[in-house]
Amino acid sequence: MKHIAMLSGGRDSSAMIFYMLDAGMPLDHILFTDTQSEFPSMYDYLDRVDARLKPYGHKIVRLQHKRGETFEDWVFGRITSGNRKGMVRGVPMVTQPCFWKRESKVRPFEKFVKDNNITDYTAYIGYTYSEKKRAKVVDKKQRFPLIELKKCEADIDRKLIELDLVNPLYEFFERTGCYFCPYQKLRGFFVLWKKYPKQWAYMRSVEDRLNALPDVINPQWNIRYSMEEMTTAFTAGDILFEVEAPQACECGI
């Protein structure tokens, strides 16, 4: 049995690892699967986490998609079977599981398990105590230490402040991951436009190229607005979204 912590670089999974270590829970590997589409500051943050892990005798194992296929190979690739055979995939759709998450995160994990001859393992996932309902999964190989330890968002914040490991991305974003993630809210797209012009320009170029092709399943990043529409609105000061009040978590804090 191997005990594997899944680290995304986000607040919950980062705090989970140190809660596990402080609680004396077994831990063999800490894996970060690199989507190759992370914000540059994420890699700096991972270096800081690595430095904090050194006294515990642990380090992050960083996995990458190594089959030679890129994100664009999938975006501009064509479906090979089914009713949509021959159509260009386009960008991931929010109504379906993300193909890039599968290829850049799930596949490298499966390869790591196979290459290291791991036949039995437990994967530790950073769901908080307020996400108890989300953690009701069929996969018996998963455990949720933050739920077991009854740690909610307030505990996570305190732990990361104590460790001096607050990820700077949370100053502007509600989540971390691929910068172009189509699942993010409009405020995430607004921050991208405002603070990350290089990434925004790349996303526009992908959308423009997809719109120039026939038979594309999904040519745009946001389900409601094109990049051109968002750029026009953001430039004019119409940011398209309302500020949402934070939701209270189940723990009542």
- Which domains does the chain carry? 2-172 (3.40.50.620)
| Measured distance CA(36)–CA(169) in Å, rounded | 17
pLDDT-based confidence at 238, cuts 50/70/90? confident
Q: What is the pLDDT of residues 41-52, one digit of tens each?
A: 999 999 999 999
Q: Which residue has the tokens 């894996």?
A: 31
pLDDT at 173: 87
Q: What percent of the chain has pLDDT over 70?
A: 94
Determine which of 64-78, 106-120, 211-225 has the lowest per-residue pLDDT on average. Answer: 64-78
How many Cβ atoms from other residues are within 10 Å of residue 17's Cβ? 25
User: Which residues make beta-bridge pairs with 29?
Assistant: 4
Q: What are phi and psi of 110, to 5 degrees?
A: -60, -40
pLDDT at 65: 81
User: Which residues make beta-bridge pairs with 63?
Assistant: 33
pLDDT-based confidence at 242, cuts 50/70/90? low
Determine which of 99-108, 144-153, 182-191, 241-250 has the lowest per-residue pLDDT on average. Answer: 241-250
User: How many residues appear in the chain?
Assistant: 253
Residue ranges of E strands in 163-222: 216-218
Angle at 100 between CA 60 and CA 33, to 5 degrees: 5
pLDDT at 139: 74
Please compute the mean of the pLDDT values over residues 64-77 and round it to a whole number. Answer: 87
Q: What is the pTM assigned to this prediction?
A: 0.87
State the burial class of residue 3 (Cβ atoms within 10 Å of its Cβ: 0-12, 13-18, 19+). middle
Residue 157 has pLDDT above 90, yes or no: yes
Q: Can you read off the two tokens belonging to residue 95?
A: 């109504």
**CA dihedral of 49, 51, 57, 63, whole degrees rounded to 10:** 50
Q: What are phi and psi of 170, to 5 degrees?
A: -75, -5
Instruction: Tell me the pLDDT of the chain averaged across its residues.
Output: 91
